[in-house]
Amino acid sequence: MKYLLLVLPILFFGCADTESTEVKKDSTVELIKKKVADKKSKEETLKKESQVVTNEKKDLVKKEKIRIKNAIPSRKVVEKSDDHKSEKKVKEVVKKEKKAVVKKIKKAVPKKKAVKKKVKKKKSSAIMTFEEKEFDYGRIKPGDVVKHQFKFKNTGKSDLVISNAVASCGCTTPSFPFIPIAPGEEGYIGVVFDSSGKLGKQRPSITLTTNIGTKKIYLMGYVYDKLAK
């Protein structure tokens, strides 16, 4: 009996503690639920308020646009457009009348044939007279170099101008005066012939470009083999 009296209060107080803890848990859960519900309601109210503000802004913009349109007088715009169209029509009529008048004038006035004046090119009266147009250097050995001057005289009445001199092969190098040759004056065309790598009969040419056309001069000779008897 003594043991029973000791155990009963412990069991009683233990049950009381568990009940109190369960009550506390239920109260905290309810508080959390209330807070969540309050937060949701606040968010919904904020959304509604923002939507109201945006709608009010849109309405104000629409009203402002309508006010601006109504402020512009429509009659004046129509009058201006009509005036512009009438001006265009008048201009078109004037253009047509001008074209018609021009056509009549062209038909009345006979066309004059345009006479093209032929511009005669003045021919140079210079004359290039050579002492010799061909030089024979005879027989030479391979590797020998021949130098010669082709003398000429301007026997005409105007200046003689030589603009270029071109040899027919790379073995020949020409030179010419770059200044005009006056009437009665003399000049020369220098020619250098290198016989290296050449054998047999040779006849290179030099073509001169002048203000009276092209002229040609020649070198001629024979390159013989050193071993030949």
Say how many domains are in the chain: 1
- Domain encompassing residue 136: 128-223
Task: Summarize pLDDT for 60-104 with one digit per residue, the tens.
Answer: 888 877 877 776 555 554 455 555 667 777 778 777 877 776 776
Task: Summarize pLDDT for 149-167 with one digit per residue, the tens.
Answer: 999 999 999 999 999 999 9
| Residue 132 vs residues 91, 135, 152, 160, 201: alpha-carbon distances, Å | 81, 7, 8, 18, 20
- Please check whether residue 90 lies inside any domain of the structure: no
- Please check whether residue 82 lies inside any domain of the structure: no
- The DSSP H or E segment spanning 14 is helix 2-71
As given in the structure block, the two tokens for residue 223 are 């390159």
SS3 151: strand
Q: What is the pLDDT averaged over residues 19-35?
A: 72
For position 77, what pLDDT does the model report?
A: 47
Answer whether 0.75 is exceeded by the pTM.
no
Q: For residue 108, how far is the Cα from the chain centroid?
A: 51
Q: What CATH number does the domain containing 165 carry?
A: 2.60.40.10
β-sheet bridge partners, residue 147: 192
| Contact assessment for residue 189 and residue 147, using Cβ atoms and an 8 Å cutoff | no
